[in-house]
Chains A and B, each alone.
Chain A
Amino acid sequence: KAGVTQTPRYLIKTRGQQVTLSCSPISGHRSVSWYQQTPGQGLQFLFEYFSETQRNKGNFPGRFSGRQFSNSRSEMNVSTLELGDSALYLCASSPGTFTIDEQYFGPGTRLTVT
């Protein structure tokens, strides 16, 4: 099975712009989660989707949004980018039926905001 794929892998944006990141989960997985990884804060939870419904949301401002499509692919959007949004954004998928399932992570999208 192919793993979790994320596109693009690298992105450079300017303050004030918006960005959309994409995640394709492992085939058959219905749950997708997003995390922001920074050296100082570690991994911080952004969203979790299951069957197109947002199951959980982290403590991030409304500039961060996401969605999941019927084929389980997911996108996250960050509007009005700030310098502090520079981070590695990780997507993870799991079968999703049970919260005991381990998550499978993609390689991440490295976002740099200048």
Chain B
Amino acid sequence: AQSVAQPEDQVNVAEGNPLTVKCTYSVSGNPYLFWYVQYPNRGLQFLLKYITGDNLVKGSYGFEAEFNKSQTSFHLKKPSALVSDSALYFCAVRDRGNTPLVFGKGTRLSVIA
């Protein structure tokens, strides 16, 4: 069965600095990988996904993620953090085929002005 690990419950970064939110996954085959963000009192919003092709994926709000097959990782990155990026971030994986989308436990990002 597929699984996702987000090793950090909380990430703190200063505004203007680069940010990284880590994600590692485990699947039996080739994965479909997703990042979602949840702002306070709001539902989850899709940020980006990796299906196949270029390992660097660009998404909404200036976020990008790099798929690394050898390290089974899909870290979320942004070159310059904004205070408005403060939210709860979820990594999710789906194995090829009709398997459910499995989410990590989430990482709370705090960007400090």
Binding site for B on A (CB under 8 A): 4, 33, 35, 41-45, 48, 55-56, 58, 90, 92, 99-100, 102-108
Contacts and interface: CB of A to CB of B under 8 A. Distances in A.
Contact of A35 (B46, B51, B96, B103): B103
B51 A45 contact: no
Contacts of A99: 32, 94, 96-99
Measured as residues with beta carbon below 8 angstroms from the partner, the interface class of chain B is: 20 to 34
A105 B98 contact: no
Closest 4 CB pairs of A and B: A42-B105, A105-B43, A43-B103, A105-B44
B103 A42 contact: yes
A102 B46 contact: yes
A11 to B, nearest CB: 16
B43 A4 contact: yes
A106 B34 CA distance: 17
B104 A48 contact: no
